[in-house]
Structure 1
Amino acid sequence: MTVDEDSRRLAELGYKQELARTWSGFSNFAISFSIISILAGCFTTFGQAWNNGGPVAISWGWPIISVFILIIGLCMAELVSAYPTAGGIYWWAAKMGRPVHGWFTGWLNLIGLVAVTASVDYGAATFLNITLNRFFGLQVSLGTTFTIFVVVLLLHALINIFSHRLISVLQNVSVWWHVFGAAIIVAILAFGPDSHQSFGFVFTETVNNSGFADSSYWFYVLPLGFLLTQYTITGFDACAHVSEETKGAATAAARGLWQSIFFSAIGGWILLLAFLFAATDVAAVNEGGGFVGAIFDSALPGNLATAIFAISAIGQFFCGMSCVTSMSRMTYAFSRDGAVPGWRLWSRVDRNRTPVNATLAGCAVAALLTLPALYAPPGTTTPVAFYAVVSIAVIGLYLAFIIPIWLRLRMGDRFVPGPWTLGRKYKVMCWIAVIEIAVVCVYFVLPFVPAGVPGDAEFTWTAVNYAPIAVGVVLVAIGLWWVLSARKWFTGPRRTVEESVVEQPYGSSS
């Protein structure tokens, strides 16, 4: 498909070609691959899985949950092929359902993308702080980490504002950094340690450092450990959000979406298994709160451990950059349709055809959302607020995913697919996706530690998983907003083309 054909298809969906369509199919794949980032999620949330399940939650949990996520991705790939717009899943929901579906989907997606940006950049700041400490002796503290986090957010905003062409190039560089960086880390962990764990340990050992009773291991503690996989492999809707900038988007964005999940799942599993085989000093890992760096420090010479921290920190920086790109495009698209307060400001593009205001606003909100990370419960190294932001990201994004997938299921044969389609397999795959998302969203609003349970003898507000509070408040707010006001004026996607263009299936003449 040529750029002119892409623009024509976009006009059929109701929009002018305002963003510059300069991205290749590989660049489209690259942004989701970078946001998934096995050099980010596998490192920053490793402790969640270690403390809530141990090696079993990682060696078995990762591939099993990855299969479910791939099914979700395949369902979404069919939708982006039919509707390649920057609004992505919000647009799909409004198109297949009613304005109310688009309203809730858009806000959940936007909240999820802001939370992903916040959590990724905070994780990058954590690893940059550790790396700088190892090189220059910079103090490792919550205050220093938060300062670095704000600086990283600002840098990502400036990079995204500077040039859409630069972003495209850096996305491509990011892919190879993740591929070769992960390969180098696996090689270091394979040949650097004096000894390795057994297969029995990696695939059968259980750990419960959560504080909850062992009797709740299988139905409560272990599922909390799956947050590692569910959080790492997310943000793949970015392929849709940059589809208006991608050449041949109807096929390239669909292919980029599912392939980013597939290759990340394989690469991430290999990387995590390398971590587990190198975790010979279990006591050190437990003492470090499950932090993956404890594995490197206990199993490797200092210089090799520092190399791993540096490779991961740079990979996480690339990941955060991609998150800001995706978030800003969604903010732009949702504002373009008048859904965000001050929408005229956020839907404006500069002379480089970049949504500058949307980029700055999203980064500012991400910083505010992460303020509770300045505080941590006594005796812990990673603030519970970090995992809360992670949960907000997962819940916001996956709740947004479930709406268009359910609407696609409901449409049945009335759905007109694009060139990439699931065929008759859509029924079973959409049902699996809907059920998996529903289960995930229930688990990730639950307390992570006993001290976060109201009424517990050691209850403290710094240990509370505030994801249900944040998500609940937002759902109530946007629900009330809809009932009291938005339903009277929000009609879903607004056409920006001057002349009426009849929407046609692919392959028909215009």
Structure 2
Amino acid sequence: MLDPISTGAPRSDAEDLARLGYRQELRRDLGSLSAFAAGFSYVSILTTVFQLFVVGYAFGGTRFFWTWPVVFLGQLAVALNLAEVGSHYPVAGSVYQWGRRVATGFPGWLAGWLKLLGDVVSVAAAAIALQAILPSVWGGFQLLGGDPSLTSRDGAANAVLLGAGLIVLTTAINMAGVKAMAYVNDVGVMAELGGVVLLIGALFLHAVRGPEVVLEPVHGPPSSLGTGVAGLLAAALMPAYVLYGFDSAGSLAEETQNPRRIIPRAILKAIVASGVGGALLILAALMAAPSLTDGRLSTDGLAYVVVSALGPTVGKVFLVDVALAVCVCTLAIQTGASRLAFSMARDGALPCAPALARVSARTKTPVAPAIVVGALACGMLVVNYGEAQLFVLITETAVLLVNLSYLLVTAGMLLRRLRGWPGRPEAGSGVFSLGRAGLALNVAAVAWGVALIVNIAWPRHDGGGAPWLSYFPVLGVAGAAVAGLGLFVAMQRPSGEQDAISRPRESSVSMMS
């Protein structure tokens, strides 16, 4: 799929960027490892599988394993299409830039807006995961009260404190420049990869049953949705909540050397490494779990398996590695969100565009977006203190927003393919191409995106809380779209009155109208 021949490519990355309508302002310091790390650490299977294993097992039992490869293959089809459009448009902002170039007007802008909202919430969701890990490593991390449970008042308050501290740290790293961010991210991803490999191996060595466990319909306490198809569809929410964000490498395109070649590979490496590693981790956990029916897998999840199978000392060592993964995951999401906000502001497509589009002369980094994203994420954490269930629902909405932004891009690509791909002269030939398989893979990506979004948004009432809360993700997306439409209309200005902030050749109005 990789075309070794680059036809008519500019002599440098800066000239290539100029052809796409922007001047080189950010510092190009990143190579292939850092680009891969950006996507892999956003997904962060060590973070998210630890967090969400309970969701999959509670609804699907041992057979929830099979929802992972199904979701992985669907998201792989999406990633292949994003890799191709990323090769044609290696510009900071990923989904926003891709969306506005394949689907002009409101749909193209909306892709960036939804992804930005989803990323801000995801920063908070990743940071709050520290509460599920650090107090188990050492009781001293429970700074407020004595109950570390996220659903308790003490646990919720402590989670806000730990999460806010982490976000302040990641904001400072982002402000220090892309080199500092990349160094921390690279080290963290290497530690996470090593931890995943060692953990999988250790759990396999301590297995108490064979791999045929995934073929047996074993459950703990029955869920409210039963053990049939409805249960498996609900269990599929677990991999759906994990396998997204692999596009983050594209947000760093203007800071990556040879991005037309490196960005597509980084996107695909991130999704494949996450998919394979996550599947092996789930299988190893099911094989090593002391019991499949005592209810602990549905309440304590993977942490219970690790500590029970490997012992408290070794188990805590792996939990420290998980905590490190949480930190680099938060950093990666915040970095991607800040570059997305910078890219939109540079086109005059966000309020306060001049401030958000400004690049530090010293660090060559957009500082204001990192601060704004960090502040908004800290604000989101406060919701968890007042109502933990509401925070969970907001997080579900964020997953829905991000996948909807992917769908807007892949649907726009499909329309372009039917008219002649890529269909724009500034796109160039690209280095990564799906070739003859492009149309089929694009149709598959769109169909999968629709199915995934319907499954995530489908109202499921588990018997707790008000029934209307099961509609919260749908209401949240509708609210985000309505707010986006209002902002989009408000940002329209007569030609010649836009903020001239390194705009592409077409004006921001013609781009958005």
Q: Distance in 2 between matches of 1:328 and 1:500?
A: 23
Task: Say if 2:59 and 2:223, in contact at 8 Å, map to a contact too.
Answer: no
Shift of 1:143: 1.4
- Pair 1:8 & 2:35 matched: no
Displacement after TM superposition at 1:150 (Å): 0.8
| Cα 1:487–1:425 shift into 2, 3 Å | farther
Paired letter, 1:368: G
Q: Which amino acid aligns with 2:269?
A: Q
Partner of 2:50: 43
Q: Which residue of 2 aligns with 1:81?
A: 87
**CA contact under 8 A between 1:197 and 1:277: conserved in structure 2?**
yes
Residue number in structure 2 paired with 1:312: 322
| Number of the residue aligned with 1:188 | 202
Counterpart position of 1:466: 472
Contact conserved, 1:370 with 1:389, CA < 8 A, in 2?
Answer: no
Instruction: Verify the 8 A CA contact 2:241 2:399 in the aligned structure 1.
Output: yes
Partner of 1:220, secondary structure, is helix
CA 445–136 in structure 1, closer or farther in 2 if over 3 Å, else same: closer
Structure 2 residue 241 is matched with structure 1 residue 241: no
1:402 aligns with 2:396: no
Aligned partner (choices 174, 177, 180) of residue 166 of structure 1: 180
Alignment of 1:336-355 (within 5 A): 336-350=346-360, 351-355=362-366
TM-score normalised to structure 1 length: 0.87
Once the two structures are superposed, residues 57-93 of structure 1 have per-residue CA deviations (whole angstroms, 9 ceiling, x without a partner) of 12x1111211111111000000000000012221222
Q: Percent of aligned positions with the same letter in both sequences?
A: 24
Equivalence for 1:55: 62
Instruction: State the shift of 1:212 in Å.
Output: 2.2
Q: 2:101 aligned to 88, 95, 99, which one?
A: 95
Report what 2:279 is aligned to. 269
Aligned partner of 1:302 in structure 2 is 312
CA distance in 2, matches of 1:324, 1:176: 19
Q: Mean Cα displacement is larger for which, 358-367 or 118-127?
A: 118-127
Q: 2:434 aligns with which of 411, 422, 429?
A: 422
Asked if structure 1 preserves the Cα contact closer than 8 Å seen for 2:220 and 2:295, the reply is no
Q: What per-residue deviation string (whole Å, max 9, x for no partner) do you get for residues 146-184 of structure 1?
A: 210111111111111112111122222123112211122
Q: Give the Cα–Cα distance (whole angstroms) in 1 for the partners of residues 234 and 220 of structure 2.
A: 11
Cα deviation digits, residues 286-319 of structure 1 (max 9, x gap): 4762532222343342112212211111111111
Q: Secondary structure at the match of 2:316?
A: helix
Tell me if the contact between 2:218 and 2:293 (Cα under 8 Å) persists in the aligned partners: no
1: distance between equivalents of 2:298 and 2:504? 62
Is 2:219 aligned against 1:207? yes
Instruction: Give the Å deviation of 1:213.
Output: 4.0
Distance 1:498 1:64 in 2: 41
Which residue identity is paired with 1:103?
A: W
Contact map agreement 1:93 1:105 (CA 8 A) in 2: yes
Q: Partners of 1:368 and 1:242 in 2: how far apart?
A: 26
2:509 matched residue in structure 1? none
Kindly indicate whether the alpha-carbon contact (under 8 Å) linking 1:334 and 1:340 is maintained by their aligned counterparts in 2: yes
Q: CA deviation at 1:427?
A: 1.0
In 2, distance between residues paired with 1:210 and 1:100?
45
Range moving further from structure 2, 354-363 or 405-414: 405-414
202 and 45 in structure 1: CA distance in 2 versus 1, 3 angstrom threshold: same
Moved more, 40-49 or 97-106: 97-106
Match of 2:444 in 1: 432
Number of equivalent positions: 482
Aligned-pair CA distance for 1:102: 2.3
State TM-score, norm by structure 2: 0.86
User: Is 1:134–1:306's contact at 8 Å kept on the other side of the alignment?
Assistant: no
Per the alignment, residue 35 of structure 2 pairs with 28
The CA RMSD over aligned residues, in Å, is 2.8
Is 1:131 matched up with 2:137? yes
Counterpart AA for 1:41? T
- 1-structure distance, mates of 2:344, 2:505: 21
Q: 1:56 to 1:490 in 2, by over 3 A?
A: farther
Instruction: Give secondary structure in 2 for the equivalent of 1:54.
Output: helix
1:291 corresponds to 2:301: yes
Cα separation, 1, equivalents of 2:504 and 2:353: 23
Residues 3, 208 of structure 1: alpha-carbon distance in 2 compared, 3 angstrom cutoff: farther
Name the residue aligned to 1:391: 396
Kept in 2, the 8 Å contact 1:119–1:389? The answer is no
For the pair 1:282 / 2:292, whether they are aligned, the reply is yes
| Amino acid in structure 2 at the alignment position of 1:352 | T
Which letter maps to 1:18? E
Structure 2 Cα separation of the partners of residues 333 and 312 of structure 1? 32
List runs of 5+ in structure 2 lacking aligned partners.
Answer: 1-5, 149-154, 424-428, 507-513
Q: Secondary structure at the match of 2:72?
A: helix
The reply on whether 1:107 has 2:113 as its aligned counterpart is yes
Rate the CA distance shift 1:373–1:92 in 2: closer, same or farther, 3 A.
same
Q: Name the amino acid aligned to 2:454.
A: V
Residue in 2 aligned with 1:359?
Answer: 370
Q: Distance in 2 between matches of 1:303 and 1:450?
A: 36
Instruction: Name the CA shift for 1:482/1:356 in 2 (closer, same or farther; >3 Å).
Output: closer
Segment of structure 1 superposing worse, 386-395 or 265-274: 386-395
Instruction: Decide whether the 8 Å contact of 1:28 with 1:242 is kept in 2.
Output: yes
Q: Report the Cα distance in structure 1 between the residues aligned to 2:250 and 2:311, rounded to whole angstroms.
A: 43
For residues 112-123 of structure 1, what are the structure 2 equivalents within 5 Å?
112-123=118-129
Residue type at the aligned position of 1:363: G
Work out the CA distance in 2 between the residues paired with 1:121 and 1:202: 31
User: Amino acid of the residue matched to residue 269 of structure 1?
Assistant: A
Taking a change above 3 Å as real, the CA distance of residues 365 and 213 of structure 1, as seen in their structure-2 partners, is same
Whether the 8 Å CA contact 1:281–1:298 is kept in 2: the answer is no
